[in-house]
Amino acid sequence: MGSASLCRTCRNAHILSGYRESEMVVVCTATYPDFPVPFVVRECTGFTDKAKPDWDEMEKFAIDIAPVSFAKKVGFRSQERERKRDTTNKG
């Protein structure tokens, strides 16, 4: 035995620890109502690793990047634009 509970690294766990190893109370907040966990957990379907960011945290740290298009514009060219382009290329 002596293995660490999965709850120690779970975002949904509320853990109260005393001075002895046996003095520990774990309450799971992933359920409603909150559930006191009476044993060491090995596997849990409601586990969320608190070391990894959740969606809101990822959005908070994300960098907004505007798309850049290198494609030529599609459509007909106006004569005025064509003249401006010709004069800038000559000079």
Question: 10: exposed, middle or buried (C-beta count within 10 Å: 0-12, 13-18, 19+)?
Answer: buried
| Assigned domain for 80 exists | no
Is residue 35 situated within a structural domain? yes
Residues comprising the chain, all counted? 91
Residue 28 has what pLDDT? Answer: 93
Q: How many structural domains compose the chain? A: 1
Dihedral through CA 31, CA 32, CA 36, CA 38, nearest 10?
A: -50
User: How far is it, in rounded angstroms, from Cα 36 to Cα 8?
Assistant: 14
SS3 82: helix
Task: Say whether pTM exceeds 0.85.
Answer: no
Q: Is 8 inside any structural domain?
A: yes
pLDDT tens string for the chain (91 positions)?
Answer: 467 889 999 999 999 999 987 888 999 998 899 999 998 899 999 898 999 988 898 999 888 888 887 777 777 766 776 777 767 666 5
- Indicate whether 27 belongs to any domain: yes
Residue 11, in any domain of the structure: yes
Is the separation of the CB atoms in 41 and 6 below 8 Å?
yes
19-48 as b/e, with b when 16 or more CB fall inside 10 Å?
Answer: eeeeeeebbbeeeeeeeebeeebeebeebe
Q: Establish if 44 belongs to a structural domain.
A: yes
Q: Which domain holds residue 8?
A: 1-60
